Each structure stands twice: as C-alpha cells, then as structure tokens.
Structure 1
Amino acid sequence: MSTSATTGTARTDPAVNLTDPDFLADPYTAVAALREQGPAVRAAFLDGSQLWMFIGDEEVRSLLSDPRFVVDPASVPGGRGQDKRLELMRQLGISEDLTTYLTEGVLDHDAPDHTRLRKLVSRAFTVRRVSELRPRVEQITDDLLDALPGHAEDGVVDLLEHFGYPLPITVICELVGVPEEDRPLWRKWGHTLVTMGSERMNDALREMVDHIRAMIEQRRSEPSDDLLGALIRVREENGDRLTETELITMVFTLIMAGHETTAHLICNGTVALLTHPEQLDLVRRDPERLPAAVHELQRWCHPVLMTRLRYTAEDVELGGVRLKVGEPVQALLLGANRDPRKYTDPDRFDITRRPSGRGEEHVGFGHGPHYCLGAALARQEAEVAFGKLFSAYPELEPAVAEAELEWMPRPAMRRLVRLPVRL
C-alpha cells in the first residue's frame, strides 16, 4: 500500500524537523525512532518547507542511482522543480553573483553535464595520482604527530585543530597546487563557510574565487604538473574542456569537499575507537584491519548525514510513497548505514563485519553517478591517520567524557567543535 505525496495530514505534521535540537544532538537515536514509520518520513527542511526523506538502505540507493531523481531542479520537465538551493542562498545572505559557485558544481548537475564534468576531472584525479601521493600523506602525518606535544596546554591537545584539519587540508592543497603560504587562508575561509550564517560568508566566498582565478592565470602562463594544471590542460576527444567558471567551481568543490569531510571522519573515528577499546585493540594488534576499520567508521560515524536534495523528474513510487513530478526528496545516509534490514545489530560498532558482496556496503561516500570523486584519497588519509596516530601515542585518551563533547549544530553534518585529548 502506498502513501500519496500530496496527503494533507502528512504535510502538516512532519515526523522530523532537521533543525530540532534533539535531532541535532543525537541524530542516530532520532532516526532509530523514525524507522517505526517505515523507510520514508515527512521532514521539515531548513527553510521550513516539507519534503519526503528516505531512511532505508534500499530506498536511499534507489534514490541516488535512479535517473528519475535529479539534483538540478532545472532537469525537471516543464519547470516544475522549485529550486530550494536559491532560497537557502537568499536566507544565508549569499550575493547572487556568488551563488553560481555554490549551485553549479559537478555535484549540482545531472547527465549529460554531470557526466562530461566528471569525466574531465576524473582524467586528472586518477587512482595513480592518489597512490603516488601516499608517501607524502605519511610524511605530513608524521610531521603533524611530532608537533602535537608542542600544542598541549595543561597536557591537553585539540586533535581537530592540530591534526584532523591540518592533514587533509595540506594533502588536498598539495594535490591541487595551492601554494603552502596560502593554505591557512583556505582553512580560515572553510571555517567561515561551514559555520553558515556568518556575516563574513560573502567576503570568504569572494576571496576564494579571486584566489582560484589568480592561480588559474598563473598556471596558464606557467604550466604545472599539479591537479590544477591537469584540469586546465585536460580535453575530451571532441575538444571539450572546462570553462573558466567550471574550473573555479571545480577547484572550490575539490578543496572544500576534500578536507572538511575527511577531517571530521578522522576525528569522529578517533572518538569511536577511543570509546570502543576492544575495537581499537584489534587495530593495534593487526594493522591489516585498518581498511576494514575505516569502512566500518564510514558506516557508523561518517560526518555526512544526508545528501543534497533530489527532485522527481516524473511521477514515481519509492518506499511505498507516490511522488509527483517536481517533488523535493532527500536521502538520509545515516539511516541507510544503520538500516536493520541490511545490517545485523546496526548500532553496534564492529570492525570485523564482513561485506556480503563486492564493494562497499555502506553509503558513506554516496552511491550512483554522484559517488564521491575523492573517496580513494579520503580512505587512504584515514588509514594513514589512524594507523600512525595510535602507534605514535599508545596512551592517547579523551580529555573529557564522551557526553561532554561539543557537536556543531548542523543538520547535514556530524562535526565536533573540538576534540580534546591527552597524549
């Protein structure tokens, strides 16, 4: 039996408000309670409007891979997709001339534009390039770990500030080609953007765009072997290449996505391992378990809780819900990653889980055509970070109780404000 997407009672009584303090404080418990209503629930979006949110693994995978669900409202026939992104940009006070850099990236397009952009950047963002970067990732990690004692105050170090963030921002900036002296700027700009609502958001965005444009101009006069140089040179067989705006937006997306999520995966994962000493002991005794541990951490505490909105390009039924063309929908990744229909005892953190088939079982990096471009790099960084962190500091322990950890109140991400530890 299916439920109509136009049911009046459903629209006036959402099951979850994404900005509700209880949801922000403990989204895992909140989603577990929602499961009693089925794989789809009504939710109040950030702008107060309502939409269908899918929380089951099967439904989430369908939503992310079925071409009838599109990320660009302009892909909805007849102009029946209301662009909620633009409304959100207005609410945040983002200038119209800057909005394009937040709404026109590779993640915001459907085929064929998405296919073209992804293919062009994939030629530069290769597995070989990522693999060749591993020795440098290890060196950066060692240097950061060696420096940790110097950051201690009364024996306490903020691992987010001095390890979680510096590692991925350094790696992605080196990969892209951001000069070392400019990397602190990206850290500052990134912090301004993720806090959302800051009066400095427009300034930060404009400075980011100007900085990328200056780097592009320099690479065109002085070709380089870094990722930015490769993106400038890459062409399709038919001569297609990235436009100036696409280049700027691509670099912006790669740098922001390439450090924010990885920084918090490392820190969320550190908390998970420290609070599950039997699991940490398995990793310490057998480092070969690190890849499996990272996959389980991606399932259990990945910082990205939900995807950006999708829109129905035609009438469709999913999870027992009949959706009309143009309906906004959202996939809750944390719901899929803890779906009891897929995982035995899904709320248990267990690095010995064995996948039932080939490839990833979790959707920490998404699924379908918009699967994360930098997934291999993020996994590599996390494996190196955890392996070296717990080897360098075998007595590492939290400096505060788990209940006292402060989480940033953002509905789409599970981010710590800081991670105080004793070395």
Structure 2
Amino acid sequence: MTVNLFDPELMADPFTAFNRLREQGPVVEAAFPGVPGPIWLVTRYDDVKTVLGDRRFVNNSAHVPGMDVGNIREKLIEARGIPADYAQYVLDSVLDADGDDHIRLRRLVSRAFTVRRVSELRPRVEEITERLLDGLPDEVDLIEHFAYPLPITVICELVGIPEEERPLWRDWGRALVSMTPGAMAEPLRRMVASIQDLIERRREEPGGDLLSGLIRAHDEDGDRLTDTEMVTMVLTLVLAGHETTAHLIGNGTAALLTHPDQLDLLRADPGLMPVAVHELMRWCGPVHGTRVRYAAEDVELGGQTVRRGEAVMAMLVSANYDPRRFDDPDRLDVTRESDGRREVHVGFGYGLHYCLGAALARQEGEVAIGALLRRFPRLALAVPAEKLEREFMPASWRLARLPVLLNP
C-alpha cells in the first residue's frame, strides 16, 4: 500500500498513523498526489539517523551521479504556483545545499547561532517575552498574540529586518507555508523585493546585524556569496527562525495544559525547563518529516535496498516515538533525561543539516513557556482540548489557534 502524504486522516493523527507504519516496516512507500514517482518514508530511529547523517543521501537531486533525477520539491513548488524565476529563492537555500556549498553557506551565518551568542541574547529574549505578556488580555489566542510575535521579533532583530516591516513578514511567512493553491507567489515576490531593498539600505548604513555581515562577505569576495544566495539566506533565516519556534511554543503549552501532572512538576521545579523543552520537542515537535533526500548510491536501510536516485523522507515523528530507542514513548515525561549534553531525540534533525537555530529555538521555548507558567499560575485552555484547531499540513504539527484563559 502506498501512503498518501496528503491523507486527511494521516494529518489529523500522525502519531497513531506513523506508529503503525513504523511497525509495518522500516521503509514504507509513499507519494505526493500529482508528483511522479514514489518516496520512501524512513520510519525507525536508527535508520532515520542514517539518512540524516550519511553523505550517501543528498538534498539536491542533481547531485545523484550518472542519473537525471527529477526534483520532487521543484514539482511541488510548481504545483503551488511559484513562477520559475522565483523558485530559486525557495529551492536553492542552505537547507537544500550539499557538500562544499552547504559548508560555505552555513559558515557565513553559523557564528550568530553558537551557544555562546545565543546565551548573550537571552536577556533580550526575556525582555521581549515580558513585554508581550504585559499586553495580553485575560482571554487570548496565544498563537496569534504570543507564540508568533516572540520568535519573529527575535529573528528579525538578529537578521536586521526593521521593526515597522515585521508585521508584513509575519503575514508573508504564513502565506508562504500555506497549502492554499496560488497563495505563495505574491508573498514570495514581496519578500524578495523587500530583501533587495533592505540590502541597498544596509550598504548605505551598515549595522551590527547579520545582514550587514552577509553584505560585507559578498562585497569583499563575491565567490563566497552570490546576490541570489544572499537574498535566499535572509528569506530562509527569517522563515525558519520563527515558524517552527512559534509552533514549538504553541504545541508545548497545549501539551502541558492537557497533562496537569507534568505541568505540576514544572511549576514545582522550574529548573526542569531545559529538559522539558527537549521532551516537548520529541513528543509534539512541529516538524514531522524532513525535506526529501535522494540516494546517491544504493543504500541498505532496515534490510531493504534504496536504489540510487530514489527519494527518501526521514520521518522524525516516528523516530521520536520508536520504542526501540525510547521507553514508553507515548508518555509525555518532562523529567525524561537527555543523554548528558547530547540530544537524543531528532526533533531538530541530526548530522550535517542539524537545525542551525536549534539553540535559539530551545532558549525561546524555555523562556516563553517558563514565563507563561510563572506569570499565570492558573493558566488554562479556554476550549476543551478536543476543540483545538490544527492546520493540516503534510509532515507538520501546528495549531491554528490556542485560546487560553490567563486568570480563570
């Protein structure tokens, strides 16, 4: 049986569906409707880490030697109405690069996301968090008024997006990840134009932000960063730097409010928050599947051979619930110990493409959820848990709204 990744039942309860698929086999055939060719879903923890960490799997189908392999993401972009001259800004990012190109692009921005630099940002993250909480009414949608504004403010300040333009970026970002046909084209045009205009302004008045650093790298040595790569890098950092973090905060808060025993543990010992955020990322992380990758040669996974040129998708959700790696994986446990300083779950990926902003996302999750619990000790859902609305997107887990009562 071929799994339809757009199946409404699968998107409504991916945990049950992927638990079942994982136990059926380590590699399962799937398809995107309208996109030719199968995709192999890799479901088990050890095999997922192999796909994420093994150089025999590449992000760019053009890097499969000796074969002309169609790019599945390119077909998906076409189906969503992105003009060909703008597709490069979505398809050619650091997230899609391989080998030396990936290393070159990652090095240009990695210093901004080291543990030390992220730690230095913490007071500012705390200040933004407290200001947002100060302005919330007693009944509020936390997604709209807290979970989104916090990370978009932080990443825009880091990159150098002016304050007055940030609401536009938030709207554009939502449209760009929308599943509505044709909804992506115009926001993408506007984002690219905005970045190009901002680059010119930063050339005239450089600052201490990340964009000013990218401009210096480009102007001093064009071989390090092209015009298109600079625009794509800003686009990628802003979108990736707030969308998933917003839904980590939203999913994590909802999980705690529906598991009062775990909520009580965190209230009694706020020092558990770093471990709790790791557990929330494992248990209800917003990203359930990676970008499509391609086997550059025949590779055996779980006793099955994935042939050269075939597409694979590493399913983080099934890996993070794999009983071969996690005891009682269906149980949310905010005291679940990580393996020393090494991350055990794969919610942020693994290997060369491990999430560049993972340290910042974890910090924002710790600060945001910790402040919510401290400021509002009676925080509660404003609707029954079964009434919470989700955005149905393949390989994602996102709340459309999170209505809560701050002081019921």
Q: TM-score, normalised by structure 1?
A: 0.93
Partners of 2:299 and 2:219 in 1: CA distance: 35
Match of 2:106 in 1: 118
Partners of 2:356 and 2:319 in 1: CA distance: 20
SS across alignment from 1:52: strand
Q: CA deviation at 1:198?
A: 4.4
Match of 1:168 in 2: 151
Q: CA deviation at 1:238?
A: 8.4
SS across alignment from 2:23: helix
Aligned mate of 1:103, from 91, 96, 105: 91
Partners of 2:6 and 2:143 in 1: CA distance: 24
Q: How many residues align?
A: 405
Are the aligned partners of 1:124 and 1:234 in contact in 2 as well (CA < 8 Å)? Answer: no
AA matched with 1:139: E
Aligned mate of 1:372, from 355, 370, 381: 355
AA matched with 1:420: P
Match of 2:127 in 1: 139
Are the aligned partners of 1:189 and 1:208 in contact in 2 as well (CA < 8 Å)? Answer: yes
SS across alignment from 1:355: coil
1:216 aligned onto 2:219: no
Gaps of 5+ in 1: 1-12
Q: CA deviation at 1:409?
A: 1.1
Match of 2:212 in 1: 229
Match of 1:41 in 2: 28
Q: CA deviation at 1:123?
A: 3.3
How high is the sequence identity, in percent, across the aligned residues? 60
Match of 1:22 in 2: 9
1:88 aligned onto 2:80: no
Match of 2:305 in 1: 322
Gaps of 5+ in 2: none
Partners of 2:368 and 2:77 in 1: CA distance: 35
Q: CA deviation at 1:316?
A: 1.4
Aligned mate of 1:307, from 280, 290, 302: 290
Are the aligned partners of 2:143 and 2:402 in contact in 1 as well (CA < 8 Å)? Answer: yes
Are the aligned partners of 1:192 and 1:198 in contact in 2 as well (CA < 8 Å)? Answer: no
Are the aligned partners of 1:52 and 1:328 in contact in 2 as well (CA < 8 Å)? Answer: yes
Partners of 2:249 and 2:381 in 1: CA distance: 14
Superposed CA RMSD in Å reads 1.7
Match of 2:342 in 1: 359
AA matched with 2:213: A
- Structure 1 ranges of 4+ moved more than 6 A: 235-239
Are the aligned partners of 1:120 and 1:235 in contact in 2 as well (CA < 8 Å)? Answer: no
1:63 aligned onto 2:51: yes
Q: CA deviation at 1:78?
A: 1.8
Q: CA deviation at 1:236?
A: 12
Partners of 1:265 and 1:258 in 2: CA distance: 12
Are the aligned partners of 1:125 and 1:227 in contact in 2 as well (CA < 8 Å)? Answer: no
Aligned mate of 1:298, from 264, 269, 281: 281
Per-residue CA distance 1:262-285 (angstroms, 9 max, x = gap): 000000000111111111111111
Match of 1:7 in 2: none
Partners of 2:105 and 2:319 in 1: CA distance: 28
Partners of 1:125 and 1:357 in 2: CA distance: 21
Per-residue CA distance 1:136-170 (angstroms, 9 max, x = gap): 11011001111111xx5xxx311100001001011
Partners of 1:358 and 1:187 in 2: CA distance: 33
Q: CA deviation at 1:38?
A: 2.0
Gap change, CA 1:395 and 1:357, over 3 Å in 2: closer
AA matched with 1:25: A
Per-residue CA distance 1:366-415 (angstroms, 9 max, x = gap): 00100011011101100000110111111110111111111111012101
Are the aligned partners of 2:80 and 2:183 in contact in 1 as well (CA < 8 Å)? Answer: no
Q: CA deviation at 1:358?
A: 4.3
Match of 2:404 in 1: 421
Q: CA deviation at 1:197?
A: 2.8
